[in-house]
Amino acid sequence: MSTVDGSSAPQSPAESSLATSIFSAKSPADSDGHAARAAKWRFATQVVAVDSSDNAHGASSVPIFQTATFKGMDGQYDYTRSGNPTRGGLESHLARIYSAHQAFALSTGMTCLDVILRLVKPGETVLAGDDLYGGTNRLLTYAKSHGGVDVRHADTTDVAALIPHLGKGNNVKMVLLESPTNPLLKIADIQEISATVKAAAPDAIIVVDNTMLSPYLQRPLELGADIVYDSATKYLSGHHDVMAGIIATGNPQASKDIAWLINAMGSGLAPFDSFLLLRGVKTLALRMDKQQANAQIVANYLDALGFKVHYPGLKSHPKADIHWKQASGAGAVLSVLTDDTQLSERVVSAARLWGVSVSFGAVNSLISMPCLMSHASIPAHIRAERGLREDLIRLCVGIEDPRDLLDDLEHALIVSGAIVPNVDPSLLPSDKLAEVFRTNPGQWGIERARFFRRPNVEALIDGVSRGLALDGVKTIDSDIVVSAPGKVILFGEHAVVHGVTAIATSLNLRCYGVLAPRTDGKVAITAPDLEAEHAWEISSLPWDLVPPREGSAADEKLDPVLLAALEKLVAQDKPTKTGASASIAFLYLFMAIARESTEAPATTLTVSANLPIGAGLGSSAAFSTCVASALLVAHERVHVPDAGSIDPSHVDDVDSWAFLAEKVLHGNPSGIDNAVAVRGGAVAFTRAIEGKEGGMDSIRGFDSIRLLLTNTRVPRDTKSLVAGVAAKRAAEPHVVDPVLGQIQDISDEARGLLDGSTKTSRNGFVSRLEALMRDNHGHLRTLGVSHPSLEAVVNATAAAPFNLTTKLTGAGGGGCAVTLIPDTFDDAHLESLLANLRALGAEPYLTTLGGPGLGVHTRTPSDLSSTLVAAGPAGLESWASGLNAQWVHS
Ligand SMILES: Nc1ncnc2c1ncn2[C@@H]1O[C@H](COP(=O)(O)OP(=O)(O)O)[C@@H](O)[C@H]1O
Ligand SMILES: C[C@@](O)(CCOP(=O)(O)O)CC(=O)O
């Protein structure tokens, strides 16, 4: 009978009579020959076949004996600290699968180590590896400081490194190993070390922490070790729902010593936890097979991406041959270096399916940074000495579908900036990739990696040293350079909003944009013309408000909720009114085109125009076209040909997105401005409205006419002027509707004159256009959109000796006026007219009408944002032509 009274503790474990209560307990397996049968079975069978015969009712699983004490004087059990049938059932099962003389279930893996270290007396030496679990290191340090144990560390991957410590004077009592080590997956040759230690220090015992592989893949007792322990919290239980540790002993002396200590200390596993562990362990082989198959895929993937991966399943592992000599699998823990600690932190925190957690071995996949988590208790300088780098990420692979695991990991790598898409024409199409997955999953990991590459890490590190947060999401490879023209509405502005045809031409004044990559996870706009410069964290934008959308074209309607959210967000920076509207339009497109934060490229848009802003010359449409085209090119939704013109369907897409930006800026625009900005030339544009079909016809080959554009320099707001006309129409339809009808007639006649279908002399052509302009201006005055500054220009140009006709162009309320200059107009008069207009405070200039629409630069020059700003509006044209004239247009 065992006694539980520890009052007269023996001098040494070996002298203990208490130990025999466990050690000599009759194994239940002996009762029905289970052990003999099980010995012939392979591991996967053995691990399932639990002997449950030690119960009175024939229960088919080992019952939970949730009791502290047992009745009677001579039974097998008396007190659960000393022994319990549930724990006993577990222990005899584990002894079999460990090839052990005996196995013991304890409360944790660290308790196992604590018990084992008690075999070492003060003054004796423990020789331990130099890459060990942080908790192991902590307990060893304690044994040194409080137990007088001489603890030394050596590189256990190199047997020769151990030899100097093994001489007699070193008094080595214990050699403590891990293989593979945690977290560097270093391999120690257990057999060779055991033999070497036994030869040089016969009294030393070899202890192996086998947690990284479990007895399914490696059984160190068969390789010469004396004691093995496992944190059963890991693979043995497999579900992270129980804490436990197992000690398996290889000889009677070790068993006796350990049994005595466990009983004396009371560190045996509780009955319920024993039950959980016994239930979990049955699926060990099944889980491990899947976990290590998944781990191999992940390792292949990361290795193929060019990361330094520690995993014995990779051929490149320096000790793979030794590992495969002593183990039957590579396990499911691997570690990887990114070369940048902050980058690693971002990868780990961007993972979703991979849980950020310490520990490993559960059925679900985990990701961690050992230096911050499992190994944080090792001082930083010692970690550094032992080659444990701060950027190390540990991946503990579970049983999930490997496609989901790689999806999530890939996503984390992308959003953290660790990898960027790889443009390679030889990449496998998705059906071929799926086929590789079915036939050779390991190869699939490698093929999949080819879709990405590591970015220039030095550039990223440079980004960090420049103080950037490097919270990088996706970005673009190089600058995208775009441009779009302004426009002049010759006839039909405002009426066009209500479905009347308007006639407009592009202008030789343009807006230019450079979309440049960033590495800090932000999106920014720089608009020197507006003195606006704003940046936002991409991740902090209101992505959940982006409306779902199908297809490549933009939505017809703005989403009011997203718009309101952006207005609020942008207002936080206290921008100017124009800076706010440009920012909101840009962010709206930035988000709506990307749809998800992970798709949004970290970029800065720099825009500048030689167009006067807010003067009725379509600066907003030119700006909107630049925003839309740059973003669509960034998303590879608009293809930029090397030469020729941009695909018409892509041009239509740009137009639809530019129109959406125009809606942000103008509320209810007709779409004529963006139509001209995107397509260039001259157009007759009718908006589709109230069931009436719209249309847009190019007007080709119109006779050139000299035009004088005069900017009154009176700022005005298109949005409120358009809204004002709508309000007037609602209030006074009898006034407005006839005016709209007359403007339609004007546009129709002008179109006939311009496209040559109405035959007339050159003089007749000019004077008829003048008459139409006069009428159109009068109608605009009726609609309430003229302004004293415009009337001043009308009067100044109409005065003798000039006798010219002027109409406002665009929204009115200030802005620009357009004056037709007949061929015969005297040059001297023109000079004095310009002087008169300048005297009014206006800005007159002679213009050329027509010209290209949207332009995209075909090269990928970089660092153009600053040169764009430096050029300033006056230098933009030569800046653009200085880009080697490599432009393609719509
Ligand atoms: N060069 C530019 N840089 C930034 N934003 C611009 C630029 N040009 C136009 N915009 C945007 O367009 C708005 C001007 O629209 P609007 O008043 O209709 O002028 P326009 O009549 O010239 O189209 C500005 O408030 C700004 O949001
Ligand atoms: C007044 C309007 O007809 C033309 C745009 O004018 P402006 O270029 O913003 O001044 C409005 C529209 O067509 O959307």
The answer as to whether 692 is a domain residue is yes
Residue 374: which CATH number?
3.90.1150.10
pLDDT at site 468: 39
Query: How confident is the model over 470-485, as a mean pLDDT?
Result: 78
Q: Which ligand is nearest to the CA of 668?
A: 2
Active site residue 133: yes
Q: Residues 411, 479: one domain?
A: no
Token pair listed for 288: 């491990």
pLDDT tens digits along 440-477: 999 999 999 988 888 765 554 444 443 333 444 588 88
Q: What is the largest CA-CA distance in the chain?
A: 132
Query: Given a cut of 80, is residue 612 above it in pLDDT?
Result: yes
pLDDT at site 156: 93
Which ligand 1 atom is the nearest neighbour of the CA of 617? 22
Alpha carbon of 613 to ligand 1 centroid (Å): 5
The confidence band for 861, taking pLDDT boundaries of 50, 70 and 90, is low
Alpha carbon of 579 to ligand 1 centroid (Å): 9
Q: Residues 407, 493: one domain?
A: no
Task: For residues 516 and 529, give the distance between their C-alpha atoms in angstroms, rounded to a whole number.
Answer: 18
Catalytic residue, chosen from 131, 209, 230, 673, is 209
Give the three-class secondary structure for 747. helix
**Is the minimum distance from the CB of 492 to ligand 2 under 6 angstroms?**
no
Task: For residues 673 and 622, give the distance between their C-alpha atoms in angstroms, rounded to a whole number.
Answer: 8
Query: Given a cut of 60, is residue 395 above it in pLDDT?
Result: yes
Q: Residues 431, 338: one domain?
A: yes
Give the three-class secondary structure for 227. strand
The answer as to whether 5 is a domain residue is no
Active site residue 77: no
- Asked if 578 and 614 touch (Cβ cutoff 8 Å), the reply is yes
Which ligand 1 atom is the nearest neighbour of the CA of 528? 3
Q: Name the domain boundary from 228, 254, 282.
A: 282
Q: Residues 665, 608: one domain?
A: yes
Q: Residues 165, 293: one domain?
A: no
- Asked if 335 and 366 touch (Cβ cutoff 8 Å), the reply is no
Query: Given a cut of 70, is residue 145 above it in pLDDT?
Result: yes
The residue whose CA is least distant from atom 1 of ligand 2 is 811
Q: Which ligand is nearest to the CA of 672?
A: 2
Q: Calculate the CA dihedral of residues 107, 113, 119, 124 and round it to 10 degrees.
A: -160
Q: Calculate the CA dihedral of residues 434, 435, 441, 443 and round it to 10 degrees.
A: -100
Active site residue 287: no
The confidence band for 239, taking pLDDT boundaries of 50, 70 and 90, is very high
**Is the minimum distance from the CB of 790 to ligand 2 under 6 angstroms?**
no
The confidence band for 551, taking pLDDT boundaries of 50, 70 and 90, is confident
The confidence band for 384, taking pLDDT boundaries of 50, 70 and 90, is confident
Strand partners, 245: 106, 231
The confidence band for 725, taking pLDDT boundaries of 50, 70 and 90, is very high
Query: How confident is the model over 819-828, as a mean pLDDT?
Result: 91
Catalytic residue, chosen from 81, 453, 595, 768, is 81
The answer as to whether 2 is a domain residue is no
pLDDT tens digits along 592-604: 999 988 899 999 9
Residue from 584, 586, 611, 620 to probe ligand 1 pocket by mutation (most atoms less than 8 Å from CB): 620
Q: Residues 572, 445: one domain?
A: no
Q: Residues 498, 451: one domain?
A: no
The confidence band for 885, taking pLDDT boundaries of 50, 70 and 90, is low
pLDDT tens digits along 337-373: 999 898 899 899 889 999 988 889 999 999 999 888 8
The count of structural domains within the chain is 3
Query: Given a cut of 90, is residue 80 above it in pLDDT?
Result: yes
Alpha carbon of 658 to ligand 2 centroid (Å): 14
Alpha carbon of 584 to ligand 1 centroid (Å): 12
Residue 212: which CATH number?
3.40.640.10
pLDDT at site 473: 56
Give the three-class secondary structure for 871. helix
The residue whose CA is least distant from atom 5 of ligand 1 is 582
At a CB cut-off of 8 Å and minimum separation 6, what does 758 contact? 749, 752
Count of other CB atoms within 10 angstroms of residue 694: 14
Residue 589: which CATH number?
3.30.230.10
The answer as to whether 6 is a domain residue is no
At a CB cut-off of 8 Å and minimum separation 6, what does 573 contact? 534, 583
Residues in the chain: 890
pLDDT tens digits along 420-448: 776 665 778 888 889 999 999 999 999 99
Q: Torsions phi, psi of 196, nearest 5?
A: -65, -45
Query: Given a cut of 50, is residue 611 above it in pLDDT?
Result: yes
Task: For residues 274 and 279, give the distance between their C-alpha atoms in angstroms, rounded to a whole number.
Answer: 9
Alpha carbon of 231 to ligand 1 centroid (Å): 66
Cβ neighbourhood burial of 170 (10 Å; 0-12, 13-18, 19+) = middle
Alpha carbon of 631 to ligand 1 centroid (Å): 18
- Asked if 654 and 628 touch (Cβ cutoff 8 Å), the reply is yes
pLDDT at site 880: 84
Q: Residues 568, 664: one domain?
A: yes
Task: For residues 669 and 663, give the distance between their C-alpha atoms in angstroms, rounded to a whole number.
Answer: 6
Alpha carbon of 669 to ligand 2 centroid (Å): 7
Query: How confident is the model over 839-865, as a mean pLDDT?
Result: 83
The answer as to whether 600 is a domain residue is yes
**Is the minimum distance from the CB of 472 to ligand 2 under 6 angstroms?**
no
Query: How confident is the model over 516-536, as a mean pLDDT?
Result: 92
What integer best gives the mean pLDDT of the chain? 89
Q: Name the domain boundary from 462, 483, 505.
A: 462
Ligand 1: which residues within 6 Å by Cβ?
511, 527, 529-530, 578, 581-582, 607-609, 613-621, 623, 665, 718, 810
pLDDT tens digits along 301-345: 999 999 999 999 999 999 999 999 999 999 999 999 999 898 899
Q: Residues 450, 490: one domain?
A: no
Active site residue 716: no
Which ligand 1 atom is the nearest neighbour of the CA of 619? 22
Range of the domain at 34: 13-282
**Is the minimum distance from the CB of 676 to ligand 2 under 6 angstroms?**
no
The answer as to whether 3 is a domain residue is no
pLDDT at site 195: 96
Q: Residues 243, 312: one domain?
A: no
Task: For residues 441 and 772, give the distance between their C-alpha atoms in angstroms, rounded to a whole number.
Answer: 73
Q: How much of the chain, in percent, has pLDDT values that exceed 70? A: 93
Which ligand 2 atom is the nearest neighbour of the CA of 815? 10
Query: Given a cut of 50, is residue 177 above it in pLDDT?
Result: yes
pTM exceeds 0.80, yes or no: no
The answer as to whether 1 is a domain residue is no
Conformation bin of residue 805: beta by default, left when phi > 0, alpha when psi is -120 to 50: beta
Cis upstream peptide for 421 (omega within 30°):
no
Task: For residues 160 and 137, give the distance between their C-alpha atoms in angstroms, rounded to a whole number.
Answer: 22
Alpha carbon of 660 to ligand 2 centroid (Å): 14
pLDDT at site 15: 36
Task: For residues 671 and 661, give the distance between their C-alpha atoms in angstroms, rounded to a whole number.
Answer: 10
pLDDT at site 8: 35
At a CB cut-off of 8 Å and minimum separation 6, what does 146 contact? none
Q: Calculate the CA dihedral of residues 485, 491, 496, 499 and round it to 10 degrees.
A: -130
Q: Name the domain boundary from 248, 282, 316.
A: 282
**Is the minimum distance from the CB of 131 to ligand 2 under 6 angstroms?**
no
Q: 704 or 29: whose pLDDT is higher? A: 704
The residue whose CA is least distant from atom 15 of ligand 1 is 620
Query: Given a cut of 90, is residue 58 above it in pLDDT?
Result: no
Q: Residues 291, 251: one domain?
A: no
Cα angle 840, 842, 845; round to 5: 130
Helices (H), 268-357: 271-281, 284-304, 320-326, 341-350
- Asked if 47 and 285 touch (Cβ cutoff 8 Å), the reply is yes
Q: How much of the chain, in percent, has pLDDT values that exceed 90? A: 69
Task: For residues 504 and 510, give the distance between their C-alpha atoms in angstroms, rounded to a whole number.
Answer: 15
The answer as to whether 427 is a domain residue is yes
Q: Residues 121, 44: one domain?
A: yes
Catalytic residue, chosen from 79, 98, 133, 229, is 133
The residue whose CA is least distant from atom 17 of ligand 1 is 614
Task: For residues 196 and 127, give the distance between their C-alpha atoms in angstroms, rounded to a whole number.
Answer: 13
The residue whose CA is least distant from atom 10 of ligand 2 is 616
Query: Given a cut of 50, is residue 19 above it in pLDDT?
Result: no
The confidence band for 865, taking pLDDT boundaries of 50, 70 and 90, is confident
